[in-house]
Amino acid sequence: MGFSGPPRARAMGRLSLLFLAFLTPGAAIPVPPALRAFSKLHLSTSFTSHSAIAMKFTTHYIEQKVDHFGFNTDKTFKQRYLIADEHWRKDGGSILFYTGNEGDIIWFCNNTGFMWDVAEELKAMLVFAEHRYYGKSLPFGVNSFKDSRHLNFLTSEQALADFAELIQHLKTTIPGAKNQPVIAIGGSYGGMLAAWFRMKFPHMVVGALAASAPIWQFEDLVPCGVFMEIVTTDFRKSGPNCSECIRSSWDAINRLARTGPGLHWLSEALHLCTPLTNYQDVQRLKDWIAETWINLAMVDYPYESNFLQPLPAWPIKVVCQYFKNPDVSDAQLLQNIFQALNVYYNYSGQSRCLNISETSTRSLGSLGWSYQACTEMVMPFCTNGVDDMFEPSSWDLQEFSDGCFRQWGVRPRPSWITAMYGGKNISSHTNIIFSNGDLDPWSGGGVTKDITDTLVAITIPDGAHHLDLRANNAFDPKTVLLARSLEVKYMKQWITDFYASLRGKH
C-alpha cells in the first residue's frame, strides 16, 4: 500500500479505511485495518454458519434500472435474489427480506441461520436480495469496476431503491404475497441498509432488524478511537497482560526492523512467505497484524468457526495464552506474536508460511467496498496507543481523500450519510431493532440504548459481530438466545399490528 505522507498520519489514513477491503496493484489508498476487516469478513467464501435446517432456496433475477434517480438512461441490469418458501403460509404469513451487503448473496444466505431458524414460527418466506455491484448483480458486467463513471451508481440509495422495486415485484407476481408484512433484516453494512430501508421506505416494510449496524460511525457522531478501544478491551479481558504485550510489539518490530539482518530475522521468525526488504514492507506487516487482531475481535465466537481459516472457540482467549509475560526480549515477543498469528492463519496446521500480501482480498467485492468507502461510507478511525493497544494514528481526512482520488478519481463526502439518513436525529422513525454484541468493535458506532419504545437497542454480552443472525448453536451463550427471542417477540408484534390494521381497513 505505498503512499506518501508522514508515517503517523499514513497509518491512520490506513486505519480509517479498514472498511475498505481491496487494494488493486499500484493503488495508493490509506486503508485503515478496521475498514478492510469489515468487508473481508463478508468476502470470505468459507465462513459458514450452518442452521440445523437444510437451506433450500431458488435463485431468481429481476431487471433493475441502473439509475433509479435519473431519466437520461434506460440501461438495466439483472439483480440476483434468492427465495426460500418452505414454511411460508399465505394465511397470516410474513416475508423476511435480507438487505444484501458487500458480498455474494449466497454467502449471506448461508450465514444468516437465524432467518432459517425462525421461518416456521413466523410462517415466513425468506428473500435474500443481492446488493448491486456484488456477486452476480453487476450493472455493467465485467466493466462494472472499470472506472468511476461505471461505479457512479454504486450507492446505498440506489441499493435501497433496488430493494423497494424488488419488494413491489414480489408482491405483484407471487400469489398471496400482496397483503403480507415485510420485515427487513441485515447485519453489518446490511444492518445499516435494513435500518435505512425502514427509515426511507416505511410503507414497504413494517420494521427492521439491524444487527451490528454502525450507523453512527460517521463524522464526529462517535469518537474516532472507540472502535480500536473495544478491540483492545476484548484482548485485555481475555488474558492478563495480553493487550500490553501487543501494545509493546509495535516498537519491538520497529527496533528489529532498523537493520538488514533485523529484517531478515523478522521474516524468518514470523515465517513470512515474502521476506521484508524495506520500510514499506514493515508498515504493511504491522497493518496486517493489526487487521488480524481486529478480525479476531469481530469473530470471537463461543464455538469453532471457519472464517478465512478454521478458528477455535473463543479464539482471543487462545491467542492471549501466548501473551502472559510482558517483560520479555523483543525477539521472544515476536516469537510469541508468531504463535498468536498462527491461531488465526494456521489453526489447521496446513500453512507453510504466513502471507501478508493483499491478494486474498483482491476481488471484485473488495473493489466495490473500496469505492463505497471513498464516496459515502467515510468512517473515521484513530488510535492513541494509550486507550488502545495500537500505534498512535490520527484521522487525516485530507490524506484519505487524496488516496481515494488517486485510486478512483473521486473525493469522499464525509457528511452525506448523516444528511441522508439523519445521524442521531432519528427519533421520528419506528419499529427498528438495533442489536449489538459487546465484544464487537463495530458496536462503538451502533445504537446501544433505546431511542424510543419502538426504536430499541438489544445489547448482547459476550456477543461478537452479528452473532444473533447466526444459526442456533449448542454453545451459544444465554445472552444471544435471549436476544433472539426478544427480536422474534418484536417481529411478531409488528406482524400482528399489520394484520390488525389491514382488518381495520376492510
Rounded distance, CA 420 to CA 235, Å? 36
* Nearest Cα to Cα of residue 234 among 320, 311, 306, 322: 320
Active-site option among 440, 443, 466, 468: 440
Rounded distance, CA 499 to CA 478, Å? 32
Active-site option among 16, 137, 188, 443: 188
SS3 letters for 185-210? EEECHHHHHHHHHHHHCCCCCCEEEE
Map residue 95 onto helix, strand or coil. Answer: strand
Rounded distance, CA 280 to CA 286, Å? 10
**Residue whose cell numbers read 418466506:** 125
Q: How many CB atoms lie within 10 A of CB 498?
A: 18
Beta strands in 230-366, from DSSP E residues, in sequence order: 305-306, 310-311
Amino acid at 6: P
Rounded distance, CA 463 to CA 368, Å? 28
* Nearest Cα to Cα of residue 485 among 474, 497, 495, 472: 472
Rounded distance, CA 104 to CA 109, Å? 9
* Structural contact between residues 294 and 442, judged by C-beta atoms closer than 8 angstroms: no
Amino acid at 291: E
**Apex CA 363: angle with CA 362 and CA 369, to 5°?**
95
Task: Encode 441-452: b = buried (16+ Cβ within 10 Å), e = exposed.
Answer: bbbbbbbeeebe
Amino acid at 159: A
CA 38 remoteness from chain centre: 4
Rounded distance, CA 190 to CA 202, Å? 17
Active-site option among 42, 150, 429, 465: 465
Handedness of CA 321, 325, 331, 332 (dihedral sign): negative
Cell readout for 336 is: 510469541
Handedness of CA 432, 64, 129, 173 (dihedral sign): positive
The yes-or-no answer on residue 465 being catalytic is: yes
CA dihedral 272, 278, 279, 282 (to 10 degrees): 0
- Those residues with Cβ within 8 angstroms of residue 404's Cβ, 6 or more apart along the chain or in another chain: 29, 374, 375, 410, 411, 412
- Among all residues, which ones are annotated catalytic? 188, 440, 465
